[in-house]
Amino acid sequence: MGKEKNPRRVADNEAMAKVRMLRTSPQKLNLVAAMIRGKKVDKALTDLTFSKKRIAQDVKKCLQSAIANAENNHQLDVDELVVAEAYVGKNLVMKRGRPRARGRYGKIMKPFSELTILVRQVEEQA
């Protein structure tokens, strides 16, 4: 008997990958995510490879995971994939501190982020 299969969270021509606990602020991560939004996946991978941002390698790994999900789990054509959405969310913030002058305490916030990448198969126009 068993349980019913869960419905897909995305459309039939889409695949998704999510990475949590990225050690950077959401604002910095969103700069890199904005760099790849709407681009074809091969162009986005090239841009991430040659980006000077430290977090770009983690974004690239998430994009490669989304491409692999599309190819292996949903049988989509890799050559027709486009980065449909790339959005960033906040995660936990580690609170650290440092003693300052005159008995004060300087707060140091160490934020974490999460990234979701959605790739979509789009037929090319002739």
| DSSP per-residue string spanning 80-113 | GEEEEEEEEEEEEEEEEEEE-GGG-EEEEEEEEE
Q: Please report the pLDDT score of residue 91 as a whole number.
A: 96
Q: Which amino acid is at 40?
A: K
Residue 124 pLDDT class (50, 70, 90 cuts): confident
Report helix, strand or coil for 2: coil
User: How far is residue 10's CA from residue 77's CA, in Å, rounded to a whole number?
Assistant: 16
Give residue-wise pLDDT tens across range 23-61.
999 999 999 999 999 999 999 999 999 999 999 999 999
Q: Please report the pLDDT score of residue 52 as a whole number.
A: 97
> Given a cut of 70, is residue 10 above it in pLDDT?
yes
> Given a cut of 90, is residue 125 above it in pLDDT?
no
Set out the domains of the chain in order of their start, with CATH numbers.
Answer: 14-121 (3.90.470.10)
User: How far is residue 88's CA from residue 77's CA, in Å, rounded to a whole number?
Assistant: 26
Give residue-wise pLDDT tens across range 57-91.
999 999 999 999 999 999 999 999 999 999 999 99
Residue 104 pLDDT class (50, 70, 90 cuts): very high
Residue 66: name the closest of 87, 50, 89 by CA.
87
- Residue owning tokens 């890799």: 78
| DSSP per-residue string spanning 38-62 | TSBHHHHHHHHHT---TTHHHHHHH
Residue 5 pLDDT class (50, 70, 90 cuts): confident
Q: Please report the pLDDT score of residue 126 as a whole number.
A: 54
